[in-house]
Amino acid sequence: MTDLIFATQKELDALVEMSNKYGADADYVLAGGGNTSFKTGDVLYVKGSGTSLATIKSEGFVKISRAELEKIWQMTFSDIEAEREAQVLEAMMDSRLKGEEKKRPSVETLLHDLLEQKYILHVHPSLVNGVTCARDGEETVKKLFPEAIWVESTKPGYILAAACKKKVDEYKAQHGRAPQVIFLQNHGIFFAADSTDEIDAIVERTMSAIKAQVKIFPCKDEVDHDEALAEKLAPQIRMMYSPDGEAVVKYTANHDIIAYSMTEKSFEPIKGSFSPDHIVYCKASPLYVENKGDDTMDELEKKFNEYKAENGYAPKIIFVSGVGMFACGATKKEADTATEVFEDAIKIADYSASFGGYLPLDDEMTNFIKNWEVESYRAKVALSSAPKKRLAGKISIVTGSAQGFGAGIAEDMVKEGAYVVIADMNLPGAQAMAQSLCEKYGKGAAYPVFVNVTDEESVKNMIRQTVLEYGGIDILVNNAGIVRTGSLEEMTKQNFELVTSIDYTAFFVCTKYSVVPMKIQRKYSPDYMADVIGINSKSGLEGSNKNFAYAGAKFGGIGLTQSFALELAPYGIKVNSICPGNFLDGPLWSDPVKGLFVQYLNAGKVPGAKTVADVRKYYESKVPLGRGCVPADISKALMYIVEQKYETGQAVPVTGGQTMLN
């Protein structure tokens, strides 16, 4: 092995750059798939399974001995499909160089080695698959690309590699060189060249030639659809898919989705699977449900159960006529991936209309993919979920979470596995907060929504956006709040009503609309429980001098907590409040202009205080544990409230001992 010729760093850098370029382009790579390679005379560097082209680095490629790969063609394998593929996989694993034992080579490794060119790019552009998944696909390729190879739909793995080898050998015998382009029916395309610049040029020529023949292009424009019904169906689907609620349902509606959904006949082109990817990430077929108005939920339940009984698993993609598409998954990532992959199938159906019409995989091929170990492994790696956490999969809304207590609570919830909607009037702040959480904890961990909690329509929109993005609601954290201090003489009616509308009335409005999907979830999973949690205050437990507007609203909030708890208990919805002490480091207190330190100083609430520091010291001295409350203190109480199943209507003090229950 010491005499092997390895790639230079420059060549590997070019391989990484090419991989990242096409991997980051949704027009070329589907669900992190596709693969690339570089070869010397001795060594093949091929993308490892479970890695993403968009982010792969040089260490993500598996180094394989080409001489050992060549020996595979002389081996004899079992006639039994499962045994044969396992034997071929073992032989490929044995071809890895020393030190590569923890990496698993791409299933198409043998195909990469067949072509003698240095650089190989294998991708699945929907535009290309509009040809490879069309009735006139082969004819189109022969006409547009006479020097390319067409390989008929073949079982992936060794059988496909053998079919390609036969075609490549025939091509080389006829032309004296290897082909640069291979079209795989229902499976994408291979590009081969000795430089990445040449790869780019071939890709551009190929895509332009196909595009010039297309008469119908995909359309994602907005069209009329029944979003109100979608808001009811998403929580239903979520609980039928996973009765314990550990699932996400992503709703999508646009021109093409609605057009294909209108009738069973219009749905026909997307009823089957076009490629192995569509089966791996979306199952072999979607479920179609007719919109029956008020009876649609019953129809959906019936069709869902029939599908599950027939197939042995729940559908991942559901279309409801005139409503749209629902993609299911155990995680947000899984549901988003299913959405992305099926939208690709819709594009393929659109493009194929220009090349003789759609041609999905046949039943034999579909059944093979469904049971193929290699594709099952790929799906498992790509869609694996994080280790179980305390709030794993809980779909949550935290109002007023762009900053302060709310931001801290939201982050702690995401750390523990929850999906959190960052709902705030400060939309840029909510967007920044959500982006930060997604960067830290993964795409889809948080989602920004504008809300004015005093406006009923705004709250209804917040609930709808949450349900259509994630599929339901498990936890509402009513955190948004405001303080306006002052004596009876100083307090204006306008400020009093402002505090009341945000700190009291908004709790009612947010609860009123959040429990609608919670009740639907309970209907389809009788043991399921949800939570409404008010972030109240120690001022809700005892009066507050010259702060009566705030204290009165918070006292009222505890009254609402107890009353809601009684009403909602039959639906498995627990309602509790957390009564924190003073968050002295948060903007509510420390803002240099509007903060409570400034307000209390100006209102003379702290006798003898001459500075903001005096006010802070005074409030710290009132706490037996000697400090202000921090978000982590509240989060611990919140976790307890969610995890316990036998407590509702309570006001949990988190005050450092400053306020104690009698």
CATH no. for residue 471? 3.40.50.720
pLDDT at 199: 97
Element spanning 461, H or E:
helix 456-470
> 352, 383, 414 — which closes off a domain?
383
311 and 236 co-located in one domain: yes
Whose tokens are 């437990």? That residue is 541
Note the Cα 101 to chain centre separation in Å.
31
| Pairing of the two strands 149-151 and 181-184 | parallel
Verify whether residue 550 is a known catalytic residue. Answer: yes
| Pairing of the two strands 188-193 and 324-329 | unpaired
Inside any domain, residue 17? yes
198 and 238 co-located in one domain: no
Are the C-beta atoms of residues 301 and 241 closer than 8 Å to each other? no
Inside any domain, residue 347? yes
611 and 622 co-located in one domain: yes
558 and 592 co-located in one domain: no
Nearest residue to 421 (alpha-carbon basis) of 462, 390, 454, 459 = 462
Walking along the chain (662 residues) 10 residues at a time, the average pLDDT comes out as 83 96 88 88 92 92 95 92 87 93 88 94 96 97 96 89 93 94 95 97 97 96 96 98 96 98 97 93 96 97 97 97 97 96 96 97 89 52 61 97 93 97 97 97 97 97 98 97 86 92 95 98 97 92 87 93 98 96 81 86 89 90 89 94 96 89 76
Backbone phi and psi for residue 182, each to the nearest 5 degrees, phi listed first: -125, 120
Whose tokens are 């299911």? That residue is 328
Domain that holds residue 610: 584-628
Inside any domain, residue 361? yes
For the chain, how many structural domains are there in total? 4
Predicted TM-score (pTM) of the model is 0.90
CATH of the domain at 69: 3.40.225.10
pLDDT at 387: 63
Distance (Å) of CA 647 to CA 217, 282, 559, 581, 657? 56, 40, 16, 22, 22
Residue from 358, 441, 524, 550 carrying the catalytic annotation: 550
Inside any domain, residue 220? no
423 and 349 co-located in one domain: no
Per-residue exposure over 40-73, b if at least 16 CB sit within 10 Å of its own CB, e if not: eebbbbbbbbbbbbbebeeebbbbbbeeebeebe
283 and 346 co-located in one domain: yes
Are the C-beta atoms of residues 279 and 370 closer than 8 Å to each other? yes
Inside any domain, residue 390? no
Inside any domain, residue 3? no
620 and 648 co-located in one domain: no
Inside any domain, residue 217? no
349 and 465 co-located in one domain: no
Per-residue exposure over 413-429, b if at least 16 CB sit within 10 Å of its own CB, e if not: bbbbbbbbbbbbbbeeb
Give the separation between CA 205 and CA 277, rounded to whole angstroms.
25
| Pairing of the two strands 573-580 and 651-654 | parallel
Give the separation between CA 553 and CA 634, rounded to whole angstroms.
20
pLDDT at 26: 84
pLDDT at 521: 98
Inside any domain, residue 659? no
Beta-carbon contacts of residue 139 (< 8 Å; ≥ 6 apart): 356
318 and 355 co-located in one domain: yes
> 358, 383, 408 — which closes off a domain?
383
136 and 193 co-located in one domain: yes
286 and 339 co-located in one domain: yes
Per-residue exposure over 611-630, b if at least 16 CB sit within 10 Å of its own CB, e if not: ebeebbebbeeebeeeebbb
> 363, 383, 403 — which closes off a domain?
383
Beta-carbon contacts of residue 533 (< 8 Å; ≥ 6 apart): 475, 476, 477, 478, 575, 576, 577, 578, 638, 641, 642
| Pairing of the two strands 475-478 and 530-535 | parallel
115 and 165 co-located in one domain: yes
Are the C-beta atoms of residues 511 and 564 closer than 8 Å to each other? yes
